[in-house]
């Protein structure tokens, strides 16, 4: 997953309370208006009853989003459901739409920043997993909630090459398709063959690579608000030892500069800027040149080994991360004239997928 359906640059502004200012040490913050995430009894009974009837399993309430975030940040979700099959995923989305309950689908909880106030609506975690060979001889068919690590292991076990660049990329297939995740000059769009998606009207659609307009960290899914259900990835026969060595090499490259596994962060925070001629410049380099290495807001800090990783030192809040990101963007703009764009999604507490 991780799944970007809104521009992370669009963040509602508010005037923080005196306590907020004292807590954060800031004169202004980016956030949403406050609200309670505890559902009223009538709201709970009405939605929970209909949800159980439609989906077949009960939803949960008051679930801490911090526990479902690689940033270890976030308030509580009013409603929460883990869909373990494509049918459950479709049914959960359909019920939320039927009852006009705001909802958002997440994958592994990477590449996303949940709000401190929580989410007023239904968070659906996509855990629909499964992998098989086919339909072509060198293709892999995968459910969208499958972790990329499982996809890579399956390819290795079956002697299928071409997916080694996925090594070390966290999250699920669905999130990777949504953001066209990649590394080392390759991306998921390069190996995508065909997929089945749930559109904004609740209809299943089949799409090929040309339909999804893959570009650097972008896909048409972000504009169409479509939810991936499954996909077929292309591979080619390879020697298992060479595949294993390729995976090992890529993992070693990542571990040299990136935060240690388990560090609370969401991966690269900003996209690498791409100029009209196709030239790409590393956001980490721009941040380093702008003096970002030692910048910190509360417990939100820049990782010393790579300036494009923002980490939670233990008690960081979403507003700390947002304030830190805003400060870094301004420093880069002032130093190089380049405006960085967030890769990590900030999910406002009342936003809903259509």
75 shares its domain with 139: no
What is the maximum alpha-carbon separation in the chain?
Answer: 63
Say which of 217, 317, 319, 331 is annotated catalytic. 217
Joined tokens for residue 172: 């699920």
Catalytic status, residue 343:
yes
179 is catalytic: no
Long-range contacts formed by 183-187: CB under 8 A, 24+ apart = 183/250, 183/254, 184/250, 184/253, 187/214, 187/216
Q: Give the pTM.
A: 0.86
Place of tokens 């690269």: 268
Residue 216 sits in the same domain as residue 269: no
Residue with tokens 């390759």: 186
What is the domain range of residue 333? Answer: 260-346
d(CA 93, CA 15): 34
Per-residue pLDDT tens, the chain, 354 aa: give them.
332 222 333 223 222 333 333 333 322 223 333 334 555 566 667 899 999 999 999 999 999 999 999 999 999 999 999 999 999 999 999 999 999 999 999 999 999 999 999 999 999 999 999 999 989 999 999 999 999 999 999 999 999 999 999 999 999 999 999 999 999 989 999 999 999 999 999 999 999 999 999 999 999 999 888 999 999 999 999 999 999 999 999 999 988 889 998 899 999 999 999 988 888 999 999 999 999 999 999 999 999 999 999 999 999 999 999 999 999 999 999 999 999 999 999 999 989 999
Find out whether 338 and 286 touch, Cβ atoms under 8 Å.
yes
Is the domain of 184 the same as that of 269?
no
Alpha carbon separation from 324 to 37, 131, 230, 268 (Å, rounded): 26, 39, 36, 14
pLDDT for the residue numbered 46 = 83
d(CA 316, CA 298) in angstroms, rounded, equals: 6
> 253 lies in a domain?
no
Q: Within a domain: residue 172?
A: yes
- 17 lies in the same domain as 122: yes
Residue 1 placed within a domain? no
CA-CA distance, 282 to 285, in Å (whole number)?
5
By the 10 Å C-beta count (0-12 exposed, 13-18 middle, 19+ buried), 79 is classed as buried
9 CB neighbour count, 10 Å cutoff: 10
Choose among 265, 247, 227, 310: nearest CA to 1. Answer: 227
Whether 230 and 312 map to the same domain: the answer is no
Q: Examine the fold and report which residue of 99, 126, 153 is the final residue of a domain before the chain moves on.
A: 126
Question: Do 173 and 265 share a structural domain?
Answer: no
Q: Choose one of 208, 243, 278: the last residue of a domain.
A: 243
Listed in order, strand segments (DSSP E) in 101-199 are 103-106, 112-113, 119-126, 131-133, 139-143, 160-161, 182-183, 186-187, 192-198
Q: With respect to residue 7, please indicate whether it lies within any of the assigned structural domains.
A: no
Domain for residue 188, yes or no? yes
What pLDDT does 1 receive?
32
Handedness of CA 327, 330, 332, 338 (dihedral sign): positive
Same domain, 135 and 236: yes
- CATH of residue 321's domain is 3.90.78.10
Burial of 314 (0-12, 13-18, 19+ CB in 10 A): exposed
CA distance 6 to 354: 11
Tokens of 195: 């997929």
Q: Distance between alpha carbon 323 and the CA centroid of its chain, in Å?
A: 20
Q: Is residue 4 assigned to a domain?
A: no
Which of the following is catalytic: 82, 268, 319, 352? Answer: 268
Is residue 171 in a domain?
yes
Looking up residue 198, the CATH number of its domain turns out to be 3.30.465.10
Beta bridge partners of residue 131, listed in sequence order: 142
Given 186, 208, 243, the domain boundary residue is: 243
């Amino acid at each position: 997953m991780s799944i970007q359906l809104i521009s992370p640059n669009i963040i509602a502004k508010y005037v923080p309370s005196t306590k907020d200012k004292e807590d954060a040490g800031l004169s202004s913050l980016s956030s949403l208006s406050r609200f309670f995430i505890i559902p009223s009894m009538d709201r709970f009974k009405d939605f929970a009853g209909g949800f159980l009837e439609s989906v077949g399993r009960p939803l949960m309430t008051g679930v801490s989003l911090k526990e479902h975030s690689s940033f270890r940040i976030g308030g509580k979700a009013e409603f929460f459901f883990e869909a373990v099959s494509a049918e459950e995923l479709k049914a959960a989305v359909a019920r939320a739409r039927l009852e006009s309950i705001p909802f958002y689908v997440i994958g592994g909880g990477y590449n996303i920043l949940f709000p401190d106030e929580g989410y007023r609506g239904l968070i659906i975690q996509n855990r629909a997993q499964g992998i098989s060979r086919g339909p072509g001889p060198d293709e892999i068919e995968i459910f969208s909630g499958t972790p990329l690590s499982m996809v890579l292991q399956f390819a290795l076990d079956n002697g299928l090459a071409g997916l080694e660049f996925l090594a070390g990329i966290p999250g699920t297939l669905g999130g990777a398709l949504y953001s066209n995740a990649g590394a080392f000059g390759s991306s998921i769009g390069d190996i995508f063959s065909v997929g089945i998606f749930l559109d904004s009207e609740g209809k299943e659609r089949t799409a090929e690579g040309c339909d999804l307009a893959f570009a650097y960290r972008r896909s048409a899914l972000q504009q169409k608000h479509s939810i991936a259900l499954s996909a077929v990835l292309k591979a080619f026969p390879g020697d298992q030892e060479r595949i294993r060595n390729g995976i090992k090499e890529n993992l070693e490259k990542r571990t040299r500069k990136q935060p240690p596994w388990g560090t609370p962060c969401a991966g690269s925070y900003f996209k690498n800027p791409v100029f009209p001629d196709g030239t790409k410049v590393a956001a980490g380099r721009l941040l380093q040149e702008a003096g970002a290495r030692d910048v910190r807001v509360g417990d939100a800090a820049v990782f010393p080994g790579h300036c494009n990783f923002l980490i939670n030192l233990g008690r960081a809040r979403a507003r700390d991360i947002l304030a830190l990101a805003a400060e870094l963007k301004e420093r880069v703009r002032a130093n190089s004239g380049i405006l960085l764009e967030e890769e990590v999604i900030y999910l406002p507490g009342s936003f809903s997928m259509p």
